[in-house]
Structure 1
Amino acid sequence: MNKSFKGINTICTHVGEVKDEQFKGAVSPIYMSSSYAFEDVDVKRYPRYFNTPNQEALSKKIAALEHAESALIFGSGMAAISHALMAFLKAGDHVLLQQTLYGGTYNFAVTQFEKYGIEYSFTEGWTVEDFEKKIKPNTKVIYIETPSNPLLTITDMEGVANLSKQHGLISMIDNTFASPVNQNPIDFGIDIVLHSATKYMGGHSDICAGAVVASKEHIHTIWESSICFGGSLSDQTVWLLERSLKTMGLRIKAQNENAQKMAEFLAYHQDVDAVYYPGLGSHPDHEIAKKQMNGFGGMLSFELKEGINASEFMKNLQLIKPSMSLAGVESTVLLPVLTSHSLMSTEDRAKQGIKDGLIRFSVGIEEVEDLITDIEQALAQLKSKKVLV
């Protein structure tokens, strides 16, 4: 990929198109067939083999966005995560995971690895030293997430990548919160990049997908086991995802700007105790974020003052939607304790610093003034009704 003339929006729009050779249409045609010829063809195509025309084209686009050689597209973010991990782990191996993780990844580790005889450990923090202390002789994979879900902790990607290489380990990262627009881990030496493409890549809260991005060698290793597990994505959804990616750069630029303004607004609000956003100078990892991110993202979390009922606050919102997922063009909020991290025990959530009243805020593309007005009126309603606890 020649970055000197192919910027992010050009890649989003043009790389990985399926050319309409018959009618010369401006968008990729969709090939819905689940059965293709096997004689006298260059490629024996089958949806579960990740090589239909639309699957192949979309993989090229996502690989280009992450400055990588190759990619695979899956039916969900968890499919991408689980397929990648299981491709490099076997009985007797050890995987080292970051302490602050998406709840679904945490749940996968604690409920599945023991069944396969795979050892796992969580770090006590997210510095390079935290990882180094936990490496064992049988460690094979180091897994990180930065910015993390939901507390937006920042991990030094280059430091972890170098540590992995020193010990001959595979490094993996969940890059969902940042997206390829804001962060390209392969440029910092990370081996395998994972995405819930449901989120910023899809961007419209209407599809479910995942992606794995890496070298051709690593992708082939993942492919060899993934064709057995059956986590491929339907071509209709592949086509919708390719369409959505065309505007990803523009959407995320707007979300970055809005999130920065909302974080600054909340940081000085009398009813807010804490704000977690790497774009704030007060964030403990702000300098690392500046070094490795192109933008600070559209995600933030915050805690209301003690005594203010977070659930009632969300019920009073009129524009911002309480909703399960994130990264759509519309702004949404949720309580991780009831959703993304509900499968974790109270004790394990406490270890990560996830309080019951923590609100995760996915900032959309609306006017910031409207978002601020909505938050103010929701708080005002609580105070007028005296519903604070």
Structure 2
Amino acid sequence: MENSKNLGINTICTHIGEVKDEQFKGAVSPIYMATSYAFDGVDVKRYPRYLNTPNQEALVKKIAALEKTENALIFGSGMAAVSTTLLAFLHKGDHIVLQQTLYGGTYNFVVEEFDKFGIEYSFTEGLSIKDFEKQIQDNTKVLYIETPSNPLLTITDMKAVSKLAKSKGIVTMIDNTFASPINQTPIDFGIDIMIHSATKYMGGHSDILAGAVAASNEHIDKIWNIAKNLGGSLSDFTVWMLERSLKTLNLRVKRQSKNALKMAKYLAIHPEIYHVYYPGLKGHPNYKLAKKQMKLFGGMLSFELKEGIDAMEFQNQLQLIKPSMSLAGVESTMLSPAQTSHALLSPEERAKQGIKDGLIRFSVGIEETKDLIADIEQAIQKVKK
């Protein structure tokens, strides 16, 4: 069952990209843990670093089907996926335009490493198409966006960015981690390359580290050509775990998205909350655009407590929601971006992106929202006392 075009999303999640158990007819994919394979008399010379073991080859079919692309690759982490993909398309003397609001790891990789490679870069001042157009140079090769963004949930117009890039022969890339392919498929809006921290929604259980890239065969070949040299592969046990996790991706993300909307509405009218960042709120500046691009609005939101309520003390008083790094697990978590995801940025760089020290990022899980609300209420009351 390799043709997924007419299949429903749950069927794709469950069945595409399985490794068939031909020997014992088991219901789940067997794991092939070998790091050494025959090289003579075989159709494929397999080697883990070449990203072509049986489990790796099967898994990318599921990811490509979810993103509606021809092909995909998997990596040892989201940053391995980001860095390998960027270096596949950028060389000495090239230029890239990146949107201003980005995941801190991506921002840090660009500003720390690109000068060493002789790669030029510019960040937009805002998110309008004019902001992107203003930064384009004759040597611009890539436009890089992230929507919704981490951690302020800004929304970028994918169709407008794609149209601008295509008019100038520029490749477009998106970090699609926060939305996941359940809530948006950027290829529908003309984006060329989709990148994921598969640690997050694709993994979904806070127990694996992985990255993924989905694109056309032509673009994947280009990325693979450098991936085999950089060596950012992952073990086949992790590959197997990720394939298992993807089976419930649609079920998990839909529940998390619906929960997040309820929590955003609750927080938006809370007397102790100063501001909520969630594209599903009608007061969000990009609400209409988000509604046009996304099926649901995702399981991530951020908020600021009113002055006098310490953000860290509040998180330490939580009993159900975990103050924890990373995001998108089935369990709800909170963190302070200034101390975690964006800690590598200077205070000035964070301020430029609008990330305040008191900002809290909330990854909403699959729990009952009444229980999450009760936990937030008791934590606020304890801090106020």
State the TM-score, normalized to the length of structure 1: 0.98
Which position in structure 1 is the counterpart of 2:29?
Answer: 28
Letter in 1 for 2:120: E
Q: Equivalent pairs: percent with the same residue?
A: 72
- Cα deviation, 1:275-328, whole Å, max 9, x if unaligned, reads 000000000000110111011000000000112100100000000000010000
Which position in structure 2 is the counterpart of 1:128?
Answer: 129
Letter in 2 for 1:298: G
Q: Distance in 2 between matches of 1:79 and 1:5?
A: 32
Distance apart, 1:113 and its partner CA: 0.1
Distance apart, 1:5 and its partner CA: 3.9
Which position in structure 2 is the counterpart of 1:266?
Answer: 267
Which position in structure 2 is the counterpart of 1:193?
Answer: 194
Q: Alignment partner of 1:262: what SS?
A: helix
Q: Alignment partner of 2:237: what SS?
A: helix
Which position in structure 1 is the counterpart of 2:383?
Answer: 382
Letter in 2 for 1:25: G
Which position in structure 2 is the counterpart of 1:310?
Answer: 311
Which position in structure 2 is the counterpart of 1:70?
Answer: 71
Q: Alignment partner of 1:253: what SS?
A: helix
Distance apart, 1:205 and its partner CA: 0.1
Distance apart, 1:382 and its partner CA: 1.1
Letter in 2 for 1:76: S
Distance apart, 1:129 and its partner CA: 1.2
Asked whether the 8 Å contact 2:147–2:156 carries over to 1, the reply is yes
Q: Alignment partner of 1:73: what SS?
A: strand
Q: Alignment partner of 2:130: what SS?
A: helix
Q: Distance in 2 between matches of 1:377 and 1:3?
A: 47
- Cα deviation, 1:167-217, whole Å, max 9, x if unaligned, reads 100100000000010010011110000000000000000000000100000
* 1:174 paired to 2:187: no
Note closer, same or farther for the CA distance 1:73–1:3 as it changes in structure 2 (3 Å cut).
closer
Asked whether the 8 Å contact 2:4–2:16 carries over to 1, the reply is no
Distance apart, 1:127 and its partner CA: 1.5
Which position in structure 1 is the counterpart of 2:117?
Answer: 116
Letter in 2 for 1:36: Y
Distance apart, 1:96 and its partner CA: 0.6
Which position in structure 1 is the counterpart of 2:224?
Answer: 223
Which position in structure 2 is the counterpart of 1:387?
Answer: none
Q: Distance in 1 between matches of 2:153 and 2:357?
A: 17
Which position in structure 2 is the counterpart of 1:12?
Answer: 13
Structure 2 unaligned blocks of 5 or more: none
RMSD: 0.9
State the TM-score, normalized to the length of structure 2: 0.99
Letter in 2 for 1:297: G
Q: Distance in 2 between matches of 1:109 and 1:339?
A: 18
Q: Alignment partner of 1:57: what SS?
A: helix
* 1:352 paired to 2:329: no
When structure 1 is superposed on structure 2, of 111-120 and 5-14 the one drifting more is 5-14
Letter in 2 for 1:32: M
Structure 1 unaligned blocks of 5 or more: 385-389
- Cα deviation, 1:87-135, whole Å, max 9, x if unaligned, reads 0000000011110000000000000000000001100011211100100
Letter in 2 for 1:38: F
Which position in structure 2 is the counterpart of 1:81?
Answer: 82
Note closer, same or farther for the CA distance 1:221–1:349 as it changes in structure 2 (3 Å cut).
same
Distance apart, 1:7 and its partner CA: 1.2
* 1:232 paired to 2:237: no
- Cα deviation, 1:57-115, whole Å, max 9, x if unaligned, reads 00000000000000000000000000000000000000111100000000000000000
* 1:288 paired to 2:274: no
Which position in structure 2 is the counterpart of 1:279?
Answer: 280
Letter in 2 for 1:50: L
Letter in 1 for 2:265: E
Letter in 1 for 2:164: L
Stretches (4+) displaced over 6 A: 1-4
Distance apart, 1:4 and its partner CA: 6.7
Q: Alignment partner of 2:105: what SS?
A: helix
Letter in 1 for 2:26: G
Which position in structure 1 is the counterpart of 2:161?
Answer: 160
Asked whether the 8 Å contact 2:299–2:328 carries over to 1, the reply is yes
Q: Distance in 2 between matches of 1:132 and 1:302?
A: 31
Q: Distance in 2 between matches of 1:136 and 1:15?
A: 41
Give runs of aligned pairs for residues 41-56 of structure 1, distance below 5 A: 41-56=42-57
Q: Alignment partner of 2:304: what SS?
A: strand
Letter in 1 for 2:207: D
Q: Alignment partner of 1:95: what SS?
A: strand
* 1:37 paired to 2:38: yes
